[in-house]
Structure 1
Amino acid sequence: MTSELTEAPPPSLTQIFLAFSKVGLTSFGGGLSGWMMREFVHNRRWLTEGEFLDGLSLCQALPGVNVVNLSIWIGYRLQGGAGALAGALGMVVPALILAVAVVALAGEAVRGEAAHWMLAGVAAAALGLSIQMGLRAAWRVAKRGVAPTAIFAATFLALFALRLPLIWVVVVMAPVGIAHAAWAMSRKGD
């Protein structure tokens, strides 16, 4: 399913900050990128699904926290450097303030067994969002052909079945993917 962008003007810096604040304050763990896709692609239509997944792929290859990298990338895509700053601050600052307040107010309460059960439920929901994102990415790659699908599958197997270190998988598979993409682009020019 592809989402088309509307012809609306790009969002303001305040809108970018508030949108990322909403995501940062209402999301947990690994499900953040799935929530971001829903918010920025499907609800707000600021990006297409392809643009989002391309940005996510790039941000996962960079050092640092993926969703902060992604907030910077999306903000930059929408409003340049100021948008990148608004996106990063919106993602981090309100959630940080809330986390500090919760720990300060309920430090002892979160050590109880009920808190562990609640966090297990949150983790399950985050896992579901991550699986949804992975399936969307896999579907998108599969539509590009056999070679991209093989690269995707080899990367998945290296990381999850063989449990190879991430850095070595990236060092090997990133050049393979880049080489294939360059070859495919050169063939289109022929």
Structure 2
Amino acid sequence: MSEPDVPRPTPLQLFLIFARIGLTSFGGGLSGWMLREFVQRRRLLSEEDFLNGLSIAQALPGVNVTNMAIWIGYRLAGRAGAAASWLGIVVPAAIVIVLIGSAFAWISGYELSHVALDGAAAAAIGLSLAMGLTAARRVPRRIFPLAVMAATFIAVVVLHWPLLWTVLGIGSLSVAVAYHQA
């Protein structure tokens, strides 16, 4: 839920916010930037609402960050906000990716380009870790979710069961239990 005294952004403002996030972020750190922008800086969403939206975005098919942008846009400005947020996170970054790809093909023979990419990857890992730690601090410690996490880990890492079938099976059980408890 947004703060009552904070005006909601327009679709154009959402487009510009997401374009800036998409153009200034690398790798998996985008959700961390979104948390900072919409929860901590602008106070448009509570941390709980943001993390609930992130859970929804991760459960849906497609790119998590794009799903999250659509969810935030819809939450703050309806359908027009969802469309503007999607366009903002995808289009400017896609244009830059094509330009960078062309430039990288030209400079890929130089060692400095590989060093720069290693640095960008390290920054993205750090942002993803910070987001994961923020989410982990807020999750209530209950036995069933911990058991689901452990069962998924054992099934995939130890028993080498296929990830798709493991997530479908254990995930369905987890959703059914959560629904029953609600």
User: Same fold by TM (over 0.5)?
Assistant: yes
Work out whether residues 11 and 84 of structure 2, in 8 Å CA contact, stay in contact via their aligned partners in 1.
yes
Tell me the CA shift for residue 81 of structure 1: 1.2
Q: 1:87 aligns with which of 73, 85, 88?
A: 85
- Matched with 1:150 is 147
Question: Equivalents in 2 of 1:169, 1:91: separation in Å?
Answer: 31
Q: How far has the Cα of 1:107 moved from its partner?
A: 3.3
Task: Provide the rounded CA distance (Å) in 1 between the counterparts of 2:51 and 2:111.
Answer: 38
Percent identical pairs in the alignment equals 52
Does the residue aligned with 1:63 lie in a helix, a strand or coil?
coil
The amino acid across from 2:177 in the alignment is: H
**Superposition map of 1:5-154 within 5 A:** 5-105=3-103, 107-141=105-139, 143-154=140-151
Moved more, 66-75 or 95-104: 95-104
Per-residue deviation, residues 83-103 of structure 1 (Å, max 9, x unmatched): 111011000111112222333
Structure 1 match to 2:179: 182
How far apart, CA to CA, are the structure 2 residues paired with 1:31 and 1:46? 20
Structure 2 distance, partners of 1:9, 1:73, is: 18
| Cα separation, 1, equivalents of 2:158 and 2:37 | 32
Query: In 2, Cα distance between the equivalents of 1:129 and 1:160?
Result: 25
Using structure 2 for the length normalisation, give the TM-score. 0.87
Gaps of 5+ in 2: none
Distance 1:57 1:45 in 2: 19
Deviates more, 1:124-133 or 1:164-173: 164-173
Describe the shift of the 1:80–1:105 C-alpha distance in structure 2 as closer, same or farther (beyond 3 A).
Answer: same
Aligned to 1:168: 165
**TM-score of the superposed pair, with normalisation by structure 1:** 0.83
CA-CA distance at 1:122 after TM superposition: 0.9
Q: CA deviation at 1:75?
A: 0.7
* Cα pair distance change 1:31/1:172, threshold 3 Å: same
Conservation of the 8 A alpha-carbon contact between 1:24 and 1:91: yes
